[in-house]
Each structure stands twice: as structure tokens, then as C-alpha cells.
Amino acid sequence: MSRIVITGVGACTCVGDTAPECLDAFIAGRQGNATLQHLRPSQYGSTIAYERAEKGEGDGRRRSSAFLSRALREAVTMAGPDVHTMSVPVYVGTGLRELRTAELAALAGDRIAVGDLDFTAAVRDVMPAAEQVLTISNACAASNYALALAMDAVRMGAPMAIAAGCDTLTSSMFGLLDRVNPESVEAVQVFDKYRKGVLMGDGGVALIVETEDSARAAGRTPLAQVMAVGLSTDAVHETAPDAAGISRALHDAYTRAGIGPDAVDAIYVHGTGTGLNDSTESAVLAQAFADVADKPAISGIKAMTGHTSGASGAIGVIAAIHALRTGAIPPTPGTTNPVDEAAGFGLSGAAQQVETRIAQVNAFGFGGVNSVVLLSRYEENRDAA
């Protein structure tokens, strides 16, 4: 079986319009939190978010679609000149699909079409021949689920598949998170003892997934190997995380990849800055790595981007690919008092340089949907696994 590799990436967040811009900002620890731009601050308790400046159409419609098209165009262009004309399955992971468009239309008294809620049109703006476009609405783990499905599709014979993600703030989700936050939040403090909660961000991301053979035949450059995507379902609670469920996702990923936790050099944590997520995730990691003397470095990308919901997993994947290629691990700014469970892991306010052969990306979502991606450095002459 030919190895599965990523040959193109694209991303946009509040701190960059392209993947390289985002990565530069991540390594610099540049945080994108600012006063609400696209929702009216007067209507909410908390008024800070990590939004892209891009305005969308009219009163702000189709912003998620715009982020997706932007990231997809970048990834496709990077992979090769003919990729945009190909018909390959595209899996789009999103927490909130185009629900902001639905909100704006409802407030304006307009009608929309069913097709305005999903991302088939946004993908076909970039790839007109894309027949199979699937909008997977798997909450905050959605783009990692998209990667799992894309990887499975390639394993089962598709020459290429695309995993993408996109989200923007909805008034309903931003407002209800604000409603349940006991304190006003100014920034996402990943794994900090005194963290106050989550703030939303927005953005888009795309990954070109294919076999090594397909990439080589077409002259495309593999950026990294996808070893495995582990998935699990808590079936416990609608919003609260479950340590047992998250542990199963880790175990599923390690088993599929045929490695143990000791092989992991860097972890891009889900790290939302909420009381429950960070305590559960850090406890699971502490337990999984209890017997590992040389613990991996940890990076919390949401300190820079906010919680980009369905896009966040694959944005972590792009940061992980950067580490596999350069050794550069982004800092986690704003975390000055790390939780005890993070002791021994390299969690730093400054960028780190770490020899990274294998990187892990966690993403967990509402409803107990858990995903763990394992990536390894692409080495051309290594025998196929």
C-alpha cells in the first residue's frame, strides 16, 4: 500500500490570508483577538473575538464560503496546475456551515435556498468539476473528520481527495457561549490554570490528500505523510468532554499508526481555554504519556486564532506539517501558569525548535466527537509502511 501524503495546503485565519502568513504569525505568537467586527458588540456580554477582517457579501453573508474558497484555491494551486480541473471527492468539515447567512437572512426578512447552507457551491467556485462535495457538520472536530474520510477514500482507491474546513461566528453560537461563560473573556489561555473560557475565531483550511505513488507520478511534492486519524464517540454528554472517549481516540490513532505515544515529538492540542476541555484533555495526555520520559512539545494554536470551530483541526495539521519540515513549534502565548497536568511537556510562551518526526493533532467537538491525527515527516527513501 502506497503511503498517504499531503501535497498541498491552504489556510486563512485572523492572523493571515495564506498558510505561510498564518504560520509566520503562529511562530511569532501573534494573537488576533480584537473587538467584535462582524457582530454588534452592544448585544453581547463579551465583545472580543478572533475574526478575519474580510467582510463577505452584502451584510456579511457567505463568509465561511469565502474562507473555504480562499484556502482551497491556495492548496490546489500549490499542489499543481491541473488540480483545479480534477474531479476528486472533497470533504468539508464545519461546525456551523453557513448558519450566519441563515441568521442574516432571517433578520433581514429574506429567503434563502437549501443549497445556501452547505459548501458545494464554494468548492465548485474553485474546482468546477468536483462532483462529490460533502459538508460534514461535526462540530469542532469536523476538519479532522474530513481528513479521516479523505484518507479512507484514498485508501479505497480514489487517486486524490481533499479535506477542508471552514467556519465563521454565528450570533447564536457566539452569544450562547457568552451566555454560559461565567466571566468576560479577553483571550484564549490554553492549558492555563486561570483560563477564563473560549472565544470564537474564524477561518478556512484545505489539505490535498493522495497516495505517494499518485503524487510522484504527477510530479507533486509530498509535504508530510498522514499516518492515521483516530476517531471516537463519547455517547455520554451533549457538550461536556469525556476522558474515556478522548482516550479511545488517542488509542485508535496509535493503533492505526502502529506506534506508541513515546514516538510523538509534538502535540497540537485542542486547548480551547475552557475549564472542562483543558482539564480533561490535559489529564488524558498526562495519563497517556505517564511512562514517557522525554515528553513531546505542546502548542495551542487557539491562543493565536481563537477557536475556529470546524476549521481548527486541519489548521493544527498545517502547523504540524510546518514542524515536521522545519522543527519550528509555535508558542502558546497567554499561558503563564500551566495546569499541573502539563508539567514535563514542552509548553512555552516562546517558539521552540524541536526535532519533529511525528506530530499529533487533537480536535474534540460538541456531542462527544473526538479525533486525533498522526502525521510523520515525509522521507522519500523510506520503505512503504
Partner 1 sequence: MPLDMRQTEYTLIAGSVYRPGQLDVSLRDQRPAAPVELTYKTVAKALDRKGLRYKDEATLMSLMAVAGLGDALGTPEQRERTAVIVSSNFNNIDTVVQVARQIEAEHVHATSAMALPNASSNAVAATIAIVFQLRGTNLMLCNGDRSGEDAIGLAQQLLAAGRADRVVVVGVEVDNADIRTLFPDVAYRFHGAAAVLLGDQADAPRVRPVMDAAFSATDRAATERVCGEASGAEGILRLLLAAECDSPVLMGAHTWCVVAP
**C-alpha distances in angstroms, 63 versus 52, 105, 168, 360?**
9, 13, 7, 29
Centroid of chain to Cα 275: 20
Measured from the CB of residue 110, what is the shortest distance to partner 1 in angstroms?
A: 8
Measured from the CB of residue 237, what is the shortest distance to partner 1 in angstroms?
A: 7
Pick 40 or 380: Cβ nearer partner 1: 40
The answer to whether 277 and 363 are in contact (CB under 8 A) is no
By CB under 8 A, residue 156 contacts partner 1: yes
Measured from the CB of residue 117, what is the shortest distance to partner 1 in angstroms?
A: 6
By CB under 8 A, residue 58 contacts partner 1: no
Distance of alpha carbon 32 from alpha carbon 25, whole angstroms: 9
By CB under 8 A, residue 136 contacts partner 1: yes
Instruction: Please give the radius of gyration of the chain, using alpha carbons only, rounded to the nearest integer.
Output: 19
| Candidate list 29, 95, 271, 300; residue touching partner 1; CB under 8 A | 95
By CB under 8 A, residue 241 contacts partner 1: no
| Candidate list 55, 237, 325, 382; residue touching partner 1; CB under 8 A | 237
Q: With CB under 8 A, what is the number of residues at the site for partner 1?
A: 70
By CB under 8 A, residue 335 contacts partner 1: no
By CB under 8 A, residue 83 contacts partner 1: no
Measured from the CB of residue 4, what is the shortest distance to partner 1 in angstroms?
A: 13
Nearest to 82 by CA among 224, 219, 226: 219
| Candidate list 57, 82, 85, 179; residue touching partner 1; CB under 8 A | 179
Pick 104 or 324: Cβ nearer partner 1: 104
Q: Which region among 20-28, 172-180, 266-274, 338-346 touches partner 1 (by CB under 8 A)?
A: 172-180
| Candidate list 145, 254, 289, 345; residue touching partner 1; CB under 8 A | 145
Measured from the CB of residue 93, what is the shortest distance to partner 1 in angstroms?
A: 10
| Candidate list 66, 231, 303, 324; residue touching partner 1; CB under 8 A | 231
By CB under 8 A, residue 133 contacts partner 1: yes
Residues 351-370 that bind partner 1 (CB under 8 A): 365-369
By CB under 8 A, residue 105 contacts partner 1: yes
| Candidate list 89, 165, 273, 334; residue touching partner 1; CB under 8 A | 89
By CB under 8 A, residue 238 contacts partner 1: yes
**C-alpha distances in angstroms, 68 versus 36, 75, 206, 275, 296?**
21, 11, 7, 30, 31
| Candidate list 102, 126, 298, 358; residue touching partner 1; CB under 8 A | 102
Q: Which region among 108-116, 271-279, 323-331, 351-359 touches partner 1 (by CB under 8 A)?
A: 108-116
By CB under 8 A, residue 313 contacts partner 1: no
By CB under 8 A, residue 37 contacts partner 1: no
By CB under 8 A, residue 176 contacts partner 1: yes
By CB under 8 A, residue 232 contacts partner 1: yes
Per-residue 3-state assignment (H helix, E strand, C coil) for the chain? CCCEEEEEEEEEECCECCHHHHHHHHHHCCCCCEECCCCCHHHCCCCEEECCCCCCECCCECHHHHHHHHHHHHHHHHHCCCHHHCCCCEEEECCCCCHHHHHHHHHHCCCCCHHHCCCHHHHHHHCCCCCCEEEECCHHHHHHHHHHHHHHHHHCCCCEEEEEEEECCCHHHHHHHHHHCCCCCCCCCCCECCCCCCCEECEEEEEEEEEHHHHHHHCCCCCEEEEEEEEEECCCCCCCCCHHHHHHHHHHHHHHHCCCHHHCCEEECCCCCCHHHHHHHHHHHHHHCCCCCCCCEEECCHHHHCECHHHHHHHHHHHHHHHHHHCEECCCCCCCCECHHHCCCEECCCCEECCCCEEEEEEEECCCEEEEEEEECCCCCCCCC
Pick 114 or 293: Cβ nearer partner 1: 114
Amino acid identity of residue 31, one-letter, is: Q
Q: Which residues sit at the interface with partner 1, rule CB under 8 A?
A: 40, 42-45, 87-89, 94-97, 99, 102-103, 105-107, 111-115, 117-118, 120, 131-139, 145, 148-149, 152-153, 155-159, 161, 170-173, 175-180, 231-239, 365-369
